[in-house]
Amino acid sequence: MFLYSLPLFFSQVGLASPFELLLICMALFVILLMTAPNLADFNKKQTDVSYLFGSWSGQFRLVWVFWPYFIILNASLYAADTLAKMGLLTVSSWDDVHLMLLLPIVWWMTAIWRCSTNTQFKFYAAGARLMTFAVLFEYSLKLLLRIDYPRLFFGCEELLLDYGSCF
């Protein structure tokens, strides 16, 4: 998730150091762990609803909601960022990929928060909720890089058709 954006954030942007970001993440995890909801009956019977609606309404286990979309999201972000770094994806296409992923991310984050009671330990619920904040931070970093530092991230020398987006 932070493969390309976090190194640029630390080396070029410099708004925070790695130690400061680690402290913020640890403090946020402790807050999320203390405020995690009481866990429901872990072995409750699942109702016969569709996966999307059941996840949205908090009827599925956290593991079945968290991992599929987390893997798909990270694979999509990695592919889009790698193609953009190589100059094979224009800046506008990179924007389109991130905008297409935005609505599923909103669904996924809502489902994570609602399904957090359907896990065995509060630690898992707090970790999954922390990952939702990490996704928001990743999107904020990508927006910052896209608006203020596009020449650092994109191969602007190789983009002939979309060169105006690099300024």
Q: How far is CA 145 from the centre of its chain?
A: 16
Residue with tokens 């405020």: 35
How high is the mean pLDDT of the chain?
Answer: 86
85-96 residue pLDDT tens: 887 888 888 899
Q: Is the pLDDT of residue 158 over 90?
A: no
E strands, the chain, are: none
Residue 46, pLDDT score: 60
Give the contacts of 100 (CB within 8 A, at least 6 positions apart): none
53-67 residue pLDDT tens: 888 988 899 999 999
pTM above 0.75, yes or no: yes
